[in-house]
């Protein structure tokens, strides 16, 4: 039999490590011949655009390099499969199954977030209904950490490490002048504030900043924000506020209103809106910094725990498929924080598809502008360890398709 893997959704530092996990486990599995990569997620299967991964990844060095390469080597997509009941949908599903059959692909691995799990759920159900033996297994990934069931998602730990390192550097930079300032740092995460909240970890390095943290899980009030900033200015010369991109800030039509295929709004820009507000209402030196895509592709400061777990969960997915499992997504279950111990197990994909796990409300302080120490215990193990990155000419080496 052959297998295929695809990557979908927003990039992370760990998504290629999961691909390596699938690939290396397949090499160890005698029943598996070819390992295909589908270009641009499920679109590659629809368009019969597949690559032979054994030709692409030839050596152990290639695998090591791929693990330290951010983003998705096979490209990505935000493609929503129509429901099977929709007009013309069945033809599309048949086209997908036909492509997989043509290449003798009996297991398909989709590395993605909650939207991608929608594809795994739909295709696994369809395959079962038509009596196809093709198995569909999901491998989680997202810097947003918003997948239910799993303790956390591959890619999140590395993004959180980058965000913390960068915020710490911004703290140093912002405190050099004698004049007062406010720095607003905008962090990704869509509707979930996990990544912004993770900056509480800086407390463990004796940082008092960020002084304010705003998450989409709490309602946002501009007047209260200004009051908070004024109160912090009375205590600190350089106030640092972290805001998650998903905070509700619809007033004044500051968001574009554009949506992707899954109906998600294109976010970004809240930091800039708040910067203008502070400038107009408080009138001090103020700067906003949007960490933007750097937080999801900064492999040079990735978390070793994250990369190694991403690889392990990819390998576990292959073992699950070989046991005949389909319509499942591999998840982490945390057994303890200290020592940090997680197990990997399959969960029914329907429990994750299109669902979001938000940052726990009970970890947000009553003031709605900070998070509790409980959150620190959760985040800390995920950012641990450094990867010894291979360098050339002073720059990290990235794997490229030859």
Q: Which residue number, 61 or 260, has a Cβ lying nearer to ligand F6P? A: 260
DSSP strand pairing (328-336 vs 341-348): antiparallel
Contact between 70 and ligand F6P (CB under 6 A)? Answer: no
Q: Which residue number, 112 or 210, has a Cβ lying nearer to ligand F6P? A: 112
Q: Which residue number, 296 or 368, has a Cβ lying nearer to ligand F6P? A: 296
Reference 184, options 245, 273, 254, 271; nearest CA is 271
Tokens of 385: 């360890």
- Rounded Cα–Cα distance for residues 137 and 318 (Å): 8
Q: Which residue number, 139 or 143, has a Cβ lying nearer to ligand F6P? A: 143
Contact between 160 and ligand F6P (CB under 6 A)? Answer: no
Count of residues of this chain found to bind ligand F6P when the rule CB under 6 A is applied: 12
Tokens of 283: 């009138």
Q: Which residue number, 134 or 159, has a Cβ lying nearer to ligand F6P? A: 159
Contact between 189 and ligand F6P (CB under 6 A)? Answer: yes
- Binding part of the chain for ligand F6P, among 24-32, 140-148, 199-207, 307-315 by CB under 6 A, reads 140-148
Reference 184, options 234, 244, 118, 138; nearest CA is 244
Q: Which residue number, 189 or 327, has a Cβ lying nearer to ligand F6P? A: 189
Helices 60-67 and 15-27, axial angle in degrees (round to 10):
150
Contact between 190 and ligand F6P (CB under 6 A)? Answer: yes
For the annotated catalytic residues, the residue numbers are: 144
- Rounded Cα–Cα distance for residues 157 and 388 (Å): 16
Rounded least distance, CB 246 to ligand F6P, Å: 7
- Rounded Cα–Cα distance for residues 222 and 293 (Å): 26
Q: Which residue number, 10 or 106, has a Cβ lying nearer to ligand F6P? A: 10
Reference 126, options 163, 78, 90, 176; nearest CA is 90
Residue 273 to residues 141, 184, 237, 253, 290: CA-CA distances in angstroms? 30, 10, 22, 11, 11
Contact between 75 and ligand F6P (CB under 6 A)? Answer: no
Residue 146 to residues 162, 348, 357: CA-CA distances in angstroms? 18, 16, 5
Dihedral, CA atoms, 183, 186, 218, 372, nearest 10 degrees?
-70
Q: Are 229 and 173 in contact (CB under 8 A)?
A: no
Tokens of 143: 């810097």
Tokens of 1: 């039999």
Q: Which residues contact 266 (CB under 8 A, 6 or more apart)?
A: 255, 256, 258, 259, 260
- In the list 10, 21, 44, 138, the residue contacting ligand F6P (rule: CB under 6 A) is 10
Q: Which residue is nearest to ligand F6P (CB)?
A: 10
Rounded least distance, CB 319 to ligand F6P, Å: 27
Helical ranges in 130-221 per DSSP H: 156-174, 194-197
Spell out, one character per residue from 223 to 262, where the chain touches ligand F6P: x when CB under 6 A holds, - when not: -------------------------------------x--
Contact between 191 and ligand F6P (CB under 6 A)? Answer: no
- In the list 9, 41, 44, 157, the residue contacting ligand F6P (rule: CB under 6 A) is 9
Contact between 328 and ligand F6P (CB under 6 A)? Answer: no
Rounded least distance, CB 163 to ligand F6P, Å: 11
Contact between 188 and ligand F6P (CB under 6 A)? Answer: yes
- In the list 296, 312, 357, 368, the residue contacting ligand F6P (rule: CB under 6 A) is 296
- Binding part of the chain for ligand F6P, among 121-129, 183-191, 317-325, 336-344 by CB under 6 A, reads 183-191
Contact between 144 and ligand F6P (CB under 6 A)? Answer: yes
b/e sequence 97-121, b meaning 16+ C-beta within 10 Å? bebbeebebbbbbbbbbbbbbbbbb
Q: Which residue number, 258 or 366, has a Cβ lying nearer to ligand F6P? A: 258
Contact between 143 and ligand F6P (CB under 6 A)? Answer: yes
- In the list 142, 150, 183, 349, the residue contacting ligand F6P (rule: CB under 6 A) is 142
Binding region for ligand F6P (CB under 6 A): 9-10, 113, 142-144, 188-190, 260, 267, 296
């Amino acid at each position: 039999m052959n297998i295929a893997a695809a990557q979908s959704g927003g990039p992370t530092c760990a998504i290629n490590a999961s691909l390596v996990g699938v690939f290396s486990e397949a090499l160890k599995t005698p029943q598996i011949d070819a390992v295909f990569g589908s270009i641009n997620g499920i679109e590659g299967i629809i368009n019969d655009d597949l690559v032979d991964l054994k030709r692409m990844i030839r050596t152990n060095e290639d695998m090591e390099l791929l693990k330290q390469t951010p983003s998705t080597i096979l490209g990505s997509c935000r493609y929503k499969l129509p429901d099977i009941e929709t007009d013309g949908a069945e033809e599309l599903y048949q086209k997908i199954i036909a492509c997989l059959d043509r290449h003798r692909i009996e297991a398909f691995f989709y590395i993605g977030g909650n939207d991608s799990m929608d594809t795994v759920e739909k295709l696994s159900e369809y395959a079962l209904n038509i009596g196809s033996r093709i198995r569909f297994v999901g491998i989680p990934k997202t810097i947003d950490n918003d997948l239910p069931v799993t303790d956390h998602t591959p890619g999140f730990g590395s993004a959180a490490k980058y965000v913390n390192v960068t915020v710490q550097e911004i703290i140093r930079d912002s405190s050099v002048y004698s004049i007062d300032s406010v720095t607003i740092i905008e962090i990704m995460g869509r509707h979930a504030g996990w990544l912004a909240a993770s900056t509480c970890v800086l407390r463990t390095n004796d940082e008092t900043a960020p002084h304010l943290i705003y998450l989409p899980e709490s309602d946002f009030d501009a007047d209260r924000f200004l009051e908070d900033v004024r109160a912090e200015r009375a205590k600190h010369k350089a106030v640092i506020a972290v805001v998650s991109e998903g905070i509700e800030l619809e007033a004044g039509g500051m968001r574009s209103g554009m949506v992707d295929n899954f109906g998600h709004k294109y976010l970004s820009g809240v930091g800039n809106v708040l910067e203008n507000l502070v400038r107009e209402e408080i009138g001090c030196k103020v700067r906003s910094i949007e960490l933007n895509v750097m937080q999801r592709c900064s492999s040079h400061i990735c978390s070793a725990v994250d990369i190694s777990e991403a690889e392990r969960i990819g390998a576990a997915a292959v073992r699950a498929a070989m046991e005949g499992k389909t319509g499942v997504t591999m998840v982490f279950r945390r057994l303890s924080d200290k020592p940090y111990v997680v197990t990997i197990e399959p969960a029914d994909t329907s429990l994750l598809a299109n669902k979001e796990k938000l940052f726990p409300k009970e970890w947000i302080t009553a003031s709605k502008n900070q998070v509790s120490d409980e959150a620190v215990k959760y985040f800390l193990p995920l950012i641990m360890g450094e990867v010894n990155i291979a360098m050339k000419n002073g720059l990290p080496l990235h794997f490229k398709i030859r």
